[in-house]
Amino acid sequence: LAAEAAVKAAATTLVTAEAAVDYEEKADEYWDTFYGIHQNRFFKDRNWLFTEFPDLAPKYRGAPVRVFTDDNSAPEKAVEENSTGKLSDDMRVLDLDQVKSLREGEDWFGEKSSFRVLEVGCGTGSTVYPILEVNTDPGLMVYCCDLSKTAVNLVKEHKEFSQQRCYSFVCDVTRDWSEAPFKPGSLDIVTLIFVLSAIHPDKMKEVARQIFRYMKPGGQVFFRDYGRYDLAQLRFKKGRCIQENFYVRGDGTRCYFFTQEEIRDIFTSQGFIQTQNIVDRRLQVNRGKKLKMYRVWIQAKFTKPLDQPS
């Protein structure tokens, strides 16, 4: 009740209509400025990915396996199994010669790859490069896109980029996918990790529609983002709310806070089947500052039905 009251109080003073249009039309500029200032220092590599989404690295044995309780609404009670911290024996060394041979004679980059992943909203590569580092399968191809040209260029500067298993490109996923290097019906996995929240709510279903178009039948979407009443939402003051549950930060970047029902509707309305949808609540304690921080995230998985045309 206190959280709901705080959110309602902050929403009593909205940003002006003119400012809201500016934040939408110049979203790429605001993110360019953000990455120009922070470079690759702001986001840490997301090695927790392989705990939450083990299908991103099926032969990796380095991440603990989350075991959720029967109560999907309370995964904070989950325990972790022991892990070996190893790759399986056949996944230790990447054969760069084999990767190079796969790129020869392709009509489009990654055409001969056997497993294709797209990260939407890649930032500086904090999801991309953990995937590449633990997957030594030459048949892997990781595509990544971002609205920010600065972010895409930072991805290309990473030491792992030159191995020809990664392709980064600038894309406004709410509008035009014409620069995508892959074909419709070609993707095995698409990740949306703290990115859909930065998109205007009116355009979220269009993003899901485009993902559905480019995904193979049986392909999966892995989603993780801010949940309703997360600490970050409660910190927004009056004058920062664009519309209900959608805010602008001081640097001009925006953030939405989801419910499980909203996420389900965005994807199932476009043809996906929901296979997971949980609220992940965490208590983070800063002992130095004697602060308790209550985090709320939504984690979900969706699948394109097998009976859909590729």
If you write DSSP's letter for every residue of 258-280 in order, what string do you get? B-HHHHHHHHHTTT-EEEEEEEE
Closest CA to 143 of 182, 114, 112, 177: 182
Say what the pLDDT of residue 237 is. 94
With H, G, I as helix, E, B as strand and everything else as coil, classify residue 286.
Answer: strand
- pTM, two decimals, is 0.89
Contact 185, 309 (CB under 8 A): yes
The answer to whether residues 185 and 210 touch, using CB atoms and an 8 Å cutoff, is no
CB 243 within 8 A of CB 211: no
The proportion of the chain whose per-residue pLDDT surpasses 90, expressed as a percent, equals 66
Q: How confident is the model over 183-193, as a mean pLDDT?
A: 97
Residue 47's alpha-carbon distances to 35, 109, 199, in angstroms, are: 21, 26, 25
Q: Are 59 and 86 in contact (CB under 8 A)?
A: no
Q: Which tens digit of pLDDT belongs to each residue from 49-105?
A: 888 998 998 877 776 666 444 444 444 433 333 444 454 544 568 888 999 999 999
pLDDT class for 233, splitting at 50, 70, 90?
A: very high
pLDDT at 69: 43
pLDDT tens readout for residues 141-155: 999 999 999 999 999
Q: Which residue has the higher pLDDT, 223 or 82?
A: 223
- The answer, yes or no, to whether residue 45 has pLDDT greater than 70, is no
Instruction: Please give the pLDDT value at position 299.
Output: 97
3-state class (DSSP) for residue 138:
coil
pLDDT of residue 248: 97
Question: In the prediction, which pLDDT does 64 show?
Answer: 63
Q: DSSP letters of 50-78?
A: HHH-GGGSTTEE-SPPEE--S-TT-GGG-
Give the pLDDT mean for 26-52. 82
Angle at 39 between CA 221 and CA 254, to 5 degrees: 55
Across all residues in the chain, what is the average pLDDT? 87
Return the structure tokens found at 211.
Answer: 């993902």
